[in-house]
Amino acid sequence: MSRRILSDAPAKLGESLKSLISAPFARPNPIAAPVGIIDVYSQIIRESRARKYGELPGIALSAATTFTLNSPTALPILHHVVKEQTYLKTPEAAELIREVGLKCISFNGIPRTINCLHGLREYGEREGWWQTLEKKPTRGLTPENVESVNERGRALWQSIYTPLDEKLYTILGKSHPDLPVYINGAHYGPLLSDPAERGKLATVGRCLTSVVAVACLRAQGGVGPQVLSHVYGLLKAVQQGAHQDELEEVDAKGVERLATDEGCEWLLDSVDMISQFMGRNFAHPIEGRIVIQQENPEDVDPQHIPSKL
């Protein structure tokens, strides 16, 4: 029997491969904070207050959009605006922004959250306040809590999608049997629903999580049905009274005003304003070195795909 010999030597990549990975057309780098983004954030915070939506929705949508667009250097600017123009001061503002970023994982994936949280941490360390933030995790799974976490996730799923929650679960399972299992077990339970014990960590409850979802999905583009479902989710959260359980009276009344056609239009318009100012980097056509030659372009219609390959 042959034995596999393991080597500790680091793997080496050729210069051509490394150049291709970092090629400009592949957009390998995060978006730099554009000049003037401070004015955009400030306008959104002011409008949120003036329209009596409260300050939290403006902060949540701004943070979620920034995470989605992958701009780590814009987050310190947002943090500055929040602590200067709202009742949240340095640690509270940072805790809210990074908690929003964590929940963005469910809508954007992990890499953008890693990029942006790293950028916020570097800024906080330079400014000397990062060490004041909470360090104890609260979302770990253990044999003792796994069932209660699953129940928490199922309750959130049901509250968002009722009366179609079971039907949607079944539909997702037809695409892949593990799809709804993973969504509930890895996202709705451990991440999107909040543990009871938070320490100094911010709590982004049911209502603000819907704001985060709408902002992330709108900024991505290409997922209109999911945007629609989470707009409905925000409205349902208020109909179910979640805002009264999660938020102080002033903020609860603000979210209640937000959960209207006018309020949701403002939410979408605000996300669009940040996206247009920064420049989207999801699903944009790019000029690269690969050219696809196609004799009959109409054949890409899904209706024309052969049933047998």
Model pLDDT for residues 110-130, shown as the tens digit of each residue: 999 999 999 999 999 999 999
- Model pLDDT, residue 8: 74
Model confidence at 134: pLDDT above 50: yes
Residue 119 and residue 239: Cα distance in Å, rounded? 37
Closest CA to 213 of 248, 190, 187: 187
- Model pLDDT, residue 281: 60
pLDDT grade for 289, boundaries at 50, 70 and 90: low
Report whether 71 contacts 123 (CB < 8 A).
Answer: no
- pLDDT per position as a tens digit, 158-207: 999 989 999 999 999 999 999 999 999 999 999 999 998 999 999 999 99
- Model pLDDT, residue 32: 92
- Model pLDDT, residue 25: 86
- Model pLDDT, residue 59: 97
Per the model's pLDDT, the better-predicted residue between 96 and 10 turns out to be 96
How many CB atoms within 10 Å of residue 40?
22
Ramachandran bin of 204, using left for φ above 0, alpha for ψ from -120 to 50, beta for the remaining angles? beta
pLDDT grade for 10, boundaries at 50, 70 and 90: confident
- Model pLDDT, residue 11: 83
The CB-side HSE value for 151 (13 A sphere, CA atoms) comes to 5
End-to-end CA distance of the chain: 40
For range 230-253, the mean pLDDT = 94
DSSP letter for 54, please: -
- Model pLDDT, residue 287: 53
pLDDT grade for 307, boundaries at 50, 70 and 90: very low
Helix (H) or strand (E) run with residue 150 in it: helix 146-161
pLDDT grade for 280, boundaries at 50, 70 and 90: low
Residue-averaged pLDDT of the chain: 90
- Model pLDDT, residue 298: 47
Q: What are phi and psi of 109, to 5 degrees?
A: 95, 170
CA 277 to chain centre: 19
pLDDT grade for 294, boundaries at 50, 70 and 90: very low
